[in-house]
Amino acid sequence: MISYFIFSFPFNLSFKPFVSGIGLLCAPKSLIAIGKLGPFLFEADHCQLSPLYQLFILYGFFYFLIISFFFILKRVKEISKNDIFVIILIVLSSILIILPEIVYIKDIYPSHYRANTMFKLVYQGSIMLSISCGYIIIRIFSAVKKSKIDLNIFIGWSAVLLFLLFLVVVYPFLAVPSYYNNLQKYLGLDGTSYLKNIYPKDYEAINWLNKNIKGQPVILEAQGDSYTDYARVSSNTGLPTVLGWTVHEWLWRGSYEVPAPRIKDVENLYQSDNLNLVKSLIRKYKISLVFVGSLEIEKYKNLNENNFKKLGNLIYENGGTKIYKIKEI
């Protein structure tokens, strides 16, 4: 613990959290009029609660078992250390699930203000509930085996459990085909294989970078929106870039003022006819490598490679994909 504080101190010293407060869902008008009290926010039109049927579908299976567990504990009248541990997990999980129905962490997303709070907390809660319910099922079967539960009650309980289990088990059979297009184009576990199919020349250039470039030089590439193919070079090489997914960079910093100017700067680096401007931007971002590939050519219609030829050397070329190494300026 002490070593954690020592080694994380330089980071924590300059860290600025991207959250701007803790919002209260369905805040009364009297609090909305106040607006903010300490870290707590009271915003109008922020009353997005999960419908009961959704909560039942998501957690009905878990809490049916949990209620059964407490019924068993009452019947057997003995609580082991394992039982106590599982009860602690249940309490913590329930808190994590209930909290997003009361508060939310304020981030940059106005429409989906609960999203990050919900999945950050509920994922952990669901994992702990899954672990707890695995133990609970064994505990119940053990109680039945010892004849501490009536067989007819157990049969009825099993029927309800199977129905609720069906609601849970059916999920992957619907979700996986939906998300992965019925697995018609399974590409394996290689996270870069999509590049090989869509941008084969860029794929080969990225592999070349991984094999031949040492250290962490800054590489210039096209910037773009989240969940697109942009930032493919930096994300698959580990090399820093001027700007990748703009909205994610905005989210992590809590302010659009940091990534916003870089959009225009990247555009100028690729398209400007002003060599001095390009020089100053290269110095500003300490750019050592420039990637010119499929997305750069597609996005920057007035791509000006002459600047890179004047300021550096072409060190890789394959089809239309090129990599320039910038000389010291």
Q: What is the tens place of the pLDDT at every residue in 37-63?
A: 888 888 888 888 899 998 988 898 899
What CA–CA distances, in Å, run from 38 to 22, 33, 42, 47, 63? 9, 15, 11, 21, 35
pLDDT of residue 313: 94
DSSP bridge pairs for 291:
323
Question: Residue 39: its pLDDT value, please?
Answer: 85
Question: Could you tell me where the DSSP H helices lie in the chain?
Answer: 2-14, 29-34, 52-76, 81-98, 115-145, 151-179, 193-198, 200-212, 232-237, 246-253, 260-271, 275-285, 294-299, 306-311
- 3-class DSSP assignment, residue 150: coil
pLDDT of residue 250: 85
Query: Is pTM beyond 0.85 here?
Result: no
Cα–Cα distances in Å, from 123 out to 22, 161, 189?
Answer: 19, 22, 23
Q: Are 160 and 129 in contact (CB under 8 A)?
A: no
Distance CA 219, CA 234 (A): 7
Separation between Cα atoms, residue 316 and residue 328, nearest integer Å: 18
Give the model's pLDDT for residue 185. Answer: 67
Q: Residue 18: its pLDDT value, please?
A: 66
Q: Are 258 and 215 in contact (CB under 8 A)?
A: no
Per-10-residue mean pLDDT of the chain, 329 residues long, equals 82 72 88 86 87 89 92 84 95 95 84 86 94 92 75 83 84 84 73 88 96 96 93 96 92 82 96 96 97 96 95 94 90
Two structure tokens written together for 13? 């010293």
Hunting for tokens 């008008």 — which residue is that?
A: 29
User: pLDDT for 169-185, tens place per residue?
Assistant: 888 888 888 887 777 76
